[in-house]
């Protein structure tokens, strides 16, 4: 009698253990999924991805940065210059045609030297930095986009006026028609300007 009870209890304990084990183990046919991971890699922006002018963009950028450094200009001032140059002409010195403009967007009527003249390029950059140094413009320096727009709109060299200059040749320039559209275009140029500055500074 004791033998039968002992056998029955042993059988019950083994059966309970098997059932408990089946409940804890995953089905053999179930494929375990890896824990999701977060990709923290940030793709680096190539600031010269659209340079089709034999390296002219890099030459312009390095000139802007070098002249800024010679003036001991703060980083945001140099970045503002890069923003304006990128937004206005994609860092190219000029656009071809009768309505050609320098690297900061001003029409060639303000300078009768050839568009690729070394002195004209340097003067355009130096003029921007001179505008950046004025107290009323420098007050905007914490925001490089606002800073760049303010410098451009305040430029009165030779009597020129920003928006009037853009209609001098009946140019259709929707990105520069109002201050808001100018600001939007400059904002789009900001990441390129920062990437170029980081690359050459």
What confidence score (pLDDT) does residue 35 get? 54
| Measured CA distances, 158 to 42, 162, 168 (Å) | 45, 12, 15
User: The whole model's pTM is what?
Assistant: 0.77
For residue 161 the two structure tokens come to 């006026």
Q: Reduced to 3 states, what is the DSSP secondary structure of residue 101?
A: strand
Q: Which residues contact 98 (CB under 8 A, 6 or more apart)?
A: 169
Q: Cα 19 to chain center, whole Å?
A: 61
Asked if residues 149 and 101 have their Cβ atoms less than 8 Å apart, the reply is no
Per-residue pLDDT of the chain (201 residues; tens, 9 = 90+): 444 444 444 444 444 444 445 445 445 555 555 554 444 455 678 999 887 767 889 999 999 999 999 999 999 999 999 999 999 989 988 766 666 788 999 987 888 787 778 898 999 999 999 999 999 999 999 999 999 999 999 999 989 899 988 876 556 678 888 999 999 999 999 999 999 999 998
- Please tell me the number of Cα atoms within 13 Å of 103 on its side-chain side: 29
- Give residue 91's region: left, alpha or beta (phi > 0; psi -120 to 50): left
């Amino acid at each position: 009698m004791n033998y039968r009870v002992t056998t029955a209890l042993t059988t019950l304990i083994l059966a309970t253990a098997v059932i408990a084990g089946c409940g804890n183990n995953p089905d053999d046919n179930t494929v375990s999924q890896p824990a999701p991971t977060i990709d923290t890699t940030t793709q680096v922006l190539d600031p010269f991805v659209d340079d089709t002018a034999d390296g002219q963009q890099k030459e312009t950028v390095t000139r802007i940065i070098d002249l800024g450094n010679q003036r001991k200009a703060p980083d945001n001032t140099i970045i503002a210059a890069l923003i304006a140059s990128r937004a206005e002409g994609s860092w190219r010195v000029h656009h071809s045609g009768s309505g050609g403009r320098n690297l900061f967007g001003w029409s060639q009527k303000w300078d009768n030297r050839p568009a690729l003249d070394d002195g004209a390029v340097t003067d355009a950059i130096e003029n921007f930095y001179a505008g950046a140094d004025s107290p009323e413009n420098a007050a905007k320096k914490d925001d490089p986009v606002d800073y760049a727009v303010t410098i451009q709109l305040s430029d009165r060299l030779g009597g020129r006026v920003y928006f009037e200059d853009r209609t001098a040749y009946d140019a259709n320039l929707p990105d520069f028609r109002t201050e808001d559209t100018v600001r939007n275009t400059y904002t789009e140029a900001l990441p390129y300007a920062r990437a170029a500055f980081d690359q050459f500074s």
